[in-house]
Structure 1
Amino acid sequence: MEIIDITAPFSPEMLSWPGQEPPSHEFLAHQRQGDPNTVSWWQTGGHAGTHVDAPLHFIPNGAGIEALDLRRSIGPCRVLDLSHVEGHVGRDDLEAAEIAGDQRLLLKTRNSGDDLMRRGEFEEGYVAVSREAAEYLIEAGVETLGVDYLSVEPFEDAEFGEGEFRTHHALLKAGVTLLEGLVLTEVEPGEYFLACLPLKLVGSDGSPARAVLIRGLNI
C-alpha cells in the first residue's frame, strides 16, 4: 500500500491569498525555556493552504464545515491530467476526458507542473475552472472536486468586492464538495483512494485539511 500526502506544508511562510494574512504560530510554553512542556498557539483562516469549502462560504444560510458528509471526501477518486490546458479548464476539456461516473475528481493542471502550491509567491495566472466547466461537472454527476491551487475560481472572477465568483456559486449551490490547495506535483494520473478530513469547526465556512491518496488499498 502506498500513501501519497497531497497536503501543502502549513506554516507562517506558506502561500496565502492576496489580502489574507498567512497563519501565525507562537509558543505559549517551550521546554527550551525551562517549561515542563511545549504548547503551540496557532491563528489561521479557514481557507489557508489545503482546505475544504463549506456551502456557507458562498451560499446564504448554507451548511457549515461541521456538517460535511465525510463520504464526499473519503473514497475512490480519479486524478485527471489536464496539464496541457492553457487558460482555464473548459467544458471541452472535461468532455474529452469522459468523466461521467467519476464521483470524486481531482484536477492536475499546469499549477502542479509549476509546483505553485509550494511557492511562497501568489500567482494570479493560475489555472482554474470556468463556469461552463463547472456546469458540466454538475451534469456529469461529480460530487467532489479537487483543484491544485488555492481556489477553483479564476482570479479575475475572485477579487473580493468585485468578482462574481460564478464557479463557486454554481458548484456549491449544486452540493459539490470543494477541495482546494491540493499538491499533485508528484501524483501520476489514475485511480486512487482519497482521504481528506477538515477540522470539525462549528459554523465555519471552511477548514484546513490533511489530504492523502492511497494506492493498493484493499477494503
Structure 2
Amino acid sequence: MCNGKHSADDIESFHDRLESGEDAIDRSTWAGGISESRAHAPHVRIGREKCFNLLWLLPIGFVLFIVSVTVAKGLNNSPFAKEFMQRHTGDVDTPAPVGLPAWLAWQHFFNLFLMMFMIRAGIADNPRLYWTRNSTPGREWFRVSNPVPEDPMWTAKEDSVGLPRQLGLPGIRHSIGLARWWHLGVDTLWLLTGVISTSCCSPRGNGGESSRRPGRCTFRCCSGS
C-alpha cells in the first residue's frame, strides 16, 4: 500500500473497525490511562533561582487590609479630613444621564461571563508560562507544578497537570485539545457580543455649542437612550 491507493475491501474493513465516541470522559482511560497529577500552589519567579508562592498573598493581604482600615479610620477622625470632606462633598451641579440601556447592561454581563470561560480554558493544561517562545526549562515566570526534572526524556505529556474543576476547563490532565475547543468556541461568541455592541452604538457630538468643543462626545444607541 505504499502507493497510497486502497481497495474497496480495505476501506470497508477500516469502517467496520470504527467505533462511536463516548459522550462522557472516562478518566481511567483518558490519554492512554495517564496517571493523575494535580497542580500545586502557583509560584512566580523572582530572579533566576527563587520562586514566590502566591498563597502567601492571602495572609499578607489580610494584614494590609487591617492596617488600611485602621489608618483610614484614624484619618477620617482627623480635623484635616473632616474639613476636606466638607469642602468637597462630591455633589454634581450639572445633570447627567444615569445608568445604561438594559440591552447594554446585559451585553456587559455576557462579556464578563464569556471571558470567565475563555480564561478557564486558556490556563488549562498549561503548567508553566513563559515570556518567550523557547519554553526553556527553568526560565518560566509562572508555574503550578514542580520544577522540570533533569530527565532529558521529560515530555509535555508528563509535564501536564490537572486543575480543579472550578478553575480549569475541563481541568483534566493532558486535555489541551478539549481546552482549545472551549477557548476558541467561546471566543467566537465573545467577539460576537463586541460586534453587536459596536454596531449598536455610534459616537456623535452633543450638538450646539458643546459639539464644537474638542473631546465632548456622547453615544447614540439603538434603544434611543
Where is the helix percentage greater, Structure 1 or Structure 2? 2
TM-score, length basis structure 1: 0.22
For the pair shown, which has the larger CA radius of gyration, 1 or 2?
2
Where is the strand percentage greater, Structure 1 or Structure 2? 1
**Whose RCO is larger (CA < 8 A, sep 6+)?**
1
TM-score, length basis structure 2: 0.22
